[in-house]
């Protein structure tokens, strides 16, 4: 499993491509991620858990949040199993990892200069 919380090479590429839209991209990722986390906490069925985890995995991967993407992928697969036992622990791990990523994204945004 990756221990990379936020891949700086991915961020550098995004910064080059997005230019002055880069801070907005970071804000959108953070806002969308917080909404997805709420859904993960509130979801009561496997289908909703799996779909939300899949979406969260994709956006995390696109932003270079590799460990977060891995955890979301794990949750996506676990939600397809007959039993949802232990899902709370995995959602908690996703929470903790997103807390790290949120701090790094905010630092990245504060350090951005066009």
64 Rama class: left (phi>0) / alpha (psi -120 to 50) / beta: left
pLDDT of residue 82: 86
**pLDDT value at residue 11:** 96
pLDDT given at position 1: 59
- What does the DSSP assignment read for 80-92? TSS--TTHHHHHH
pLDDT tens digits, the chain, 114 residues: what are they?
Answer: 567 899 999 999 999 999 999 999 999 999 999 999 999 999 888 999 999 999 999 999 999 999 999 999 999 999 999 888 889 999 999 999 999 999 999 999 998 875
pLDDT of residue 51: 97
CB atoms near residue 79 (< 10 Å) = 22
pTM for this entry: 0.93
């Amino acid at each position: 499993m990756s221990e990379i919380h936020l891949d700086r090479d991915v961020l550098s590429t995004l910064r080059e491509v997005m230019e002055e839209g880069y801070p907005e991209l970071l804000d959108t990722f953070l806002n969308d991620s917080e909404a997805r986390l709420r859904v993960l906490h509130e979801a009561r069925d496997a289908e909703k858990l799996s779909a939300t985890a899949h979406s969260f995995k994709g956006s995390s991967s696109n932003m270079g949040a590799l460990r977060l993407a891995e955890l979301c992928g794990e949750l996506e697969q676990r939600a397809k199993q007959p039993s949802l036992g232990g899902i709370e622990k995995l959602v908690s791990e996703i929470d903790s990892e997103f807390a790290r990523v949120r701090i790094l994204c905010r630092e990245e945004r504060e350090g951005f200069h066009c």
